[in-house]
Amino acid sequence: MEIFQWPHLNLLFSSMLIVVVLAADPYSDALLSFKSEIIDPFHNLDDWLEPNSGNPSGKVHACSWSGVKCDNNSTIVIGLNLSTKKLAGKLPGKQFSVFTELVELNISQNSFSGEIPVEIFNLTNLRSLDISRNNFSGHFQGGVTGLQNLVVLDAFSNSFSGPLPVELSKLEFLKVLNLAGSYFSGPIPSAYGFFKRLEFLHLAGNFITGNIPPELGNLQTVTHMEIGYNSYEWNIPWQLGNMSELQYLDIAGSNLSGSIPKQLSNLTKLQSLFLFRNQLTGLIPWEFSRILALTNLDLSDNFISGPIPESFAELKNLRLLSLMYNEMNGTVPDGIAELPSLDTLFIWNNFFTGSLPRNLGKNSKLRWLDVSINSFIGSIPPHICAGGELFKLIMFSNKFTGNLSPLFNCSSMFRIRLEDNSFSGEIPLTLSHLPDVSYIDLSRNKFTGGIPSDISQASKLQYFNVSNNPELGGLIPEETWSLPLLQNFSASSCNISGNLPPFKSCRSMLAVELQKNNMSGVVPKSVSHCRALEIINLASNQLNGHIPDELASLPALSVVDLSHNNFSGSIPAEFGKSTNLLLLNVSYNDISGAIPSEKVLQSMGRSAYVGNRELCGAPLRSCSASMSIFGSKGTGKLRLVLLLSAGVTILIAALLFWLVYLRKGNKGQWKMESFIGLPQFTANDVLRSFSSADSMEELPPLSAAVCKAVLPTGITVLVKKIEWEPKRMKVAIEFITQMGNARHRNLIRLLGFCYNNHMAYMLYDYLPNGNLADKVTMPRDWSTKCRIITGIARGLCFLHHDCNPAISHEGLNSSTIVFDDNFEPRLADFGFKYLIEFIKGRSSEAIKDELYMDIYRFGEIILEILTNGRLTNGGEIVQSKPQDVVLREMYSENEATDDSANTLQDEIKQVVDVALLCTRSRPADRPSMKDALKLLSGLKGQGKQ
């Protein structure tokens, strides 16, 4: 009772109680301190607030904060999950001393940098530590053995340096270890073979070298092991066959050589085996048939030889079999067609022969079949669509025959590529029954019966090509252009007749190629609806009427070939207003009047306009001269004199040409090849330009490998000379033709080539606007740099992925990147060095190495552009520096150092990341150009694509 007589003592007691309670909540204080030392630009921790009053219940105030997990009584913090909160800065460590009962720590998918604070290793109760997808750097700190109860360690995708931490092998309870994609170097420690409870091991995508330690075979508890995308030496240790619980093994892209050890067949629980993109040789062990659980087998992109083992018929669970890009031969065993689970079969680019198994597709739900670029014969297996799920059928460049009747009911198909075979008969595809088909290529076959009449029912069709089926015949179906997604329609050299159907709706159309047919009638004015059209080739038909102004007004048009028809009237002036027009060819028609005076039209040269008797103006004869000679005042005698004079001139020119022809040591008749959609030069055009002093413009002599010349057509070209032995002429011409058909907005055009048995003169567009080497030191805004980088990437991606076979550049540097009138980058010299080596008998296998080198050089060019030319050949330099140092330098070079430049910094980092990936020391670790382009596709600075 006496205490209430002392009110000041009561107040003192209450104050002391509050202090005790607050002092009993060190977790909240520690977390607030933690928050104050990191960067939270998106305010994701704004609910971490100091309490407004005391906490007499003794509960931890922070238990209500996002990412904080407490025990059932809310008195102890046992988990901290800050994943994907876009936090940054260096991770502070002193606060972790408070969290002695912490069981889970997850800070993944943020932007933390610097070294891992060693204080984390004092959390002895920690069972799960996830620091993945950050930017931690430096060596992995010592002391990790303090995490004596750790079960999961995920450090995937960081920027560590130095060796893999050996101490981890002492963590007795560790089950999951993920150190992938984090720039660790050196060998895998042999101690990693002595984990006691490890189940998941992921070390892929580092800079690991040396041999794969055979001690890994001791890991009897591991079920999942990924150690690929590194740069190992030697071969696969046979001891890995002792990993009795292994279900998933990936050692792809790892520079492995030697044969595949047959002891891997002891992995009877193995479901997935990925060994692609190595240098493995020898045969596939027939003993693999013992791995009855095997579901996915990918041995592609190696040097494996021999046949597919007959014993594979025992792999009843096999779903994926990928053997593409090897040196395998023989026939496909019939047993492959009996596999009940097979849904994907990739065996393209080998030397397989014979017919495909007759029952292929009958016993399984086959989804994806790619057997292209082999020497298969026979017909399409009759039950190929029996499973009802076939969506990709790729069979191009073989010797298949027969008809397409097995595809009649393949309603599931999405992509069909059967080009370059000998298929015949009518095209039986009922396109109204193919709701998802987007790509059909039936070119270079022997089909008849015309284009399927219901093509307009294929609502998702984007690409359709039936070119070079000379007996196809028929008409263009009436509603063809109404397809909402159709971009490319090619039906050249198909003996098609009739009129062009009206272009009622063609909003997605990019290319229409109908040259070398028997079409008549006019070009419908409704072509104006094709606002995206870039290429239209109607050459060598019987079309008539005027060239519609509506065609000339299309904004995206770049190639228009109307040559060898019966067009009349004048050339629409609207062509001269085009900013994208690269080629207009109206030669050999009945065009009259004056050629519009705009530079873009006159730059086409004479060959674009010849064969039109009443057409005048530059680059043809002047219109005034034409009228004075052949107009009403002309006389028959004058015409006769002029004709005789012209005849004498031609005779003298022929004699001079003959003398020059002999003097230059001709060895065989000269021939000329011009590429589709490009000016039609003649051999005479080319050779006369070399003998004319006016056309050479003080250039090197003809023996020079490179010179510039003005053809009689008025076009200035860049000329490259190449020589060969007569026995190599055929392969040389085939490869040059492939280069000429490689048309892309970011490639310099190969216009044609003039050749005989011993040499060729290759004619390229001459672009006088300089190259990247001349201009890279000029300061440019970020948008322009993005446009140049992505343009180069698009050109390389086209060469690597859209040309078949792929074309390597081999000489990529800032001097071989030239600019057109719109300052769009174009790759020059692509494939030329390879052509020289190829003519000398070089093996085509080396092209894989050159593709990797193209990617490396692309990464270096990115760095050169970002540093305004300061950093050339800088791949090794940037790889040797910490990533944060490289980024600071790039921010500074591109004036993105202040706080307001966050978006710009993000884009610069994105581009630098691509450069770092492309310049990795081990070729197999570099991305493909397709992947590199995808990584660049999100840049806002790149503008309209």
Residue 822 has pLDDT above 80, yes or no: no
Average pLDDT, the chain: 85
Residue 10 has pLDDT above 80, yes or no: no
Give dist(CA 602, CA 611) in Å, integer.
Answer: 16
* 20-68 pLDDT tens trace: 344 458 999 999 999 999 999 989 999 999 877 666 677 899 999 999 9
Q: Determine how β-strand 351-354 pairs with β-strand 375-376.
A: parallel
**pLDDT at residue 184, rounded to an integer:** 93
Confidence band of 91 (pLDDT split at 50, 70, 90): very high
Give dist(CA 943, CA 220) in Å, integer.
Answer: 54
Give dist(CA 809, CA 816) in Å, integer.
Answer: 10
In the chain, the percentage of residues whose pLDDT exceeds 90 is 53
Residue 5 has pLDDT above 50, yes or no: no
What is 26-146's CATH number? 3.80.10.10
Residue 302 has pLDDT above 50, yes or no: yes
Confidence band of 877 (pLDDT split at 50, 70, 90): confident
Give dist(CA 592, CA 609) in Å, integer.
Answer: 10
- What is the arithmetic mean of pLDDT over 729-757? 81
| Residue pair 98/74 in contact by the 8 Å Cβ criterion | no
Confidence band of 681 (pLDDT split at 50, 70, 90): low
**What count of other Cβ atoms lies within 10 Å of the Cβ of residue 305?**
16
| Residue pair 187/209 in contact by the 8 Å Cβ criterion | yes
| Parts of the chain belonging to CATH 1.10.510.10 | 770-937
Least confident of 215-224, 563-572, 699-708, 767-776: 699-708
**pLDDT at residue 53, rounded to an integer:** 65
Give dist(CA 93, CA 118) in Å, integer.
Answer: 7
Confidence band of 268 (pLDDT split at 50, 70, 90): very high
- What is the arithmetic mean of pLDDT over 903-924? 86
Q: At 627, list the tokens.
A: 């009228």
**pLDDT at residue 815, rounded to an integer:** 87
**pLDDT at residue 342, rounded to an integer:** 96
- What is the arithmetic mean of pLDDT over 237-249? 97
Confidence band of 693 (pLDDT split at 50, 70, 90): very low
Closest CA relative to residue 207, chosen from 852, 917, 849: 917
The residues pairing with 592 across neighbouring beta strands, listed in sequence order, are 614
Residue 705 has pLDDT above 70, yes or no: no
Helices of type H across 430-573: 549-552
Residue 625 has pLDDT above 90, yes or no: no
- Between helices 729-741 and 832-839, what is the axis angle to 10°? 160
- What is the arithmetic mean of pLDDT over 127-135? 94
Confidence band of 634 (pLDDT split at 50, 70, 90): very low
What is 770-937's CATH number? 1.10.510.10
**pLDDT at residue 843, rounded to an integer:** 54
**pLDDT at residue 676, rounded to an integer:** 53
Higher pLDDT, 603 or 98: 98
Confidence band of 108 (pLDDT split at 50, 70, 90): very high
Give dist(CA 168, CA 143) in Å, integer.
Answer: 10
Q: Residue 645 is inside which H or E element, if any?
A: helix 636-663
Which phi and psi (to 5°) does residue 720 adopt?
-120, 135
**pLDDT at residue 906, rounded to an integer:** 82
Confidence band of 356 (pLDDT split at 50, 70, 90): very high
Cβ density class 627-643: b for 16+ within 10 Å, e for less: eeeeeeeeeeeeeeeee
**pLDDT at residue 405, rounded to an integer:** 92
Torsion angle in degrees (nearest 10) through CA of 690, 693, 694, 700: 70
| Distances, alpha carbon 307 to alpha carbons 333, 336, 377, in Å | 9, 12, 17
Label residue 889 left, alpha or beta by phi (over 0 means left) and psi (-120 to 50 means alpha).
alpha
* 194-238 pLDDT tens trace: 999 999 999 998 989 999 999 999 999 999 999 998 989 989 999
Q: At 340, list the tokens.
A: 């009940």
* 453-494 pLDDT tens trace: 999 889 999 999 999 999 999 999 998 998 999 989 999 999
What is 671-691+702-765's CATH number? 3.30.200.20
Least confident of 252-261, 598-607, 861-870: 598-607
Higher pLDDT, 779 or 678: 779
Closest CA relative to residue 211, chosen from 180, 186, 179: 186
**What count of other Cβ atoms lies within 10 Å of the Cβ of residue 697?**
11
Residue 758 has pLDDT above 90, yes or no: no
* 510-563 pLDDT tens trace: 899 999 999 999 999 999 999 999 899 999 999 999 999 999 999 989 889 999
| Parts of the chain belonging to CATH 3.80.10.10 | 26-146
Following DSSP, what letter does each residue of 225-256 receive, concatenated? EE--SS---S---GGGGG-TT--EEE--SS--
| Parts of the chain belonging to CATH 3.30.200.20 | 671-691+702-765
- What is the arithmetic mean of pLDDT over 911-932? 87
Higher pLDDT, 727 or 435: 435
428 CA to centre of own chain: 33
Confidence band of 114 (pLDDT split at 50, 70, 90): very high
Residue 677 has pLDDT above 90, yes or no: no
**pLDDT at residue 901, rounded to an integer:** 59
| Distances, alpha carbon 928 to alpha carbons 511, 801, 808, in Å | 27, 9, 12
- What is the arithmetic mean of pLDDT over 697-709? 48
Higher pLDDT, 191 or 844: 191
The residues pairing with 104 across neighbouring beta strands, listed in sequence order, are 79, 128
Give dist(CA 877, CA 889) in Å, integer.
Answer: 12
Question: To which residue do tokens 């209500």 refer?
Answer: 64
